[in-house]
Amino acid sequence: QAREEIHEYLGGRRAFFGVSVDLSTVPDFQRRVLEAARQIPFGEARPYAWVAEQIGRPRAVRAVGTALARNPVPLIVPCHRVWRSDGGLGGYLFGTDVKSRLLALERGTPVLEGCATTRIVCRVGCVHGRRMRAENRVIFASVDDARSVGYRPCRVCRPAA
């Protein structure tokens, strides 16, 4: 399942990962860093300092970078969405060129799609979205936009408001 989801993500057909990730064997500090990184929305990025603040260790910015560099599941735990406070990309396991391309891919991939026949809005990559016919697919910028024209959020992928 992870391989299929990664393939869809890299093809611009998925905006989230549904596979579960077991971080129980990862040291506590690193696990907290990775869990904070998972909260960064698709298509957005945050500085290392933001992650440090989220885990209650605002002065541990370098340690956050080290923890992200040892991410056992890059892409699924999106360490590429974390950058330096000065706007620089920072490091990445697969190199800064790949990091830059992943961020560009996410900026160019729609996050929400609705089905004109069911009036349900899903995150791109949801099992329900894959069943939509192309002529029924409607792209939305937000769940609020979808609600304003009578769509409801999917109960499977639960797109955020």
| Among 79, 122, 126, 157, the one annotated catalytic | 79
Within 13 Å, how many C-alpha atoms sit on residue 47's CB side? 13
Q: With contact defined as beta carbons under 8 Å apart, do 19 and 2 qualify?
A: yes
Tokens in use for 144?
Answer: 């609020």
CA distance 151 to 154: 9
The identity of residue 122, as a single letter, is: C
CA distance 97 to 22: 28
Q: With contact defined as beta carbons under 8 Å apart, do 44 and 81 qualify?
A: yes
Query: Is residue 79 flagged as an active site residue?
Result: yes
Nearest CA to 108 out of 94, 129, 85, 124 is that of 124
Residue 41: partners with Cβ closer than 8 Å, 6 or more residues away: 160
Provide the annotated active-site residues: 79
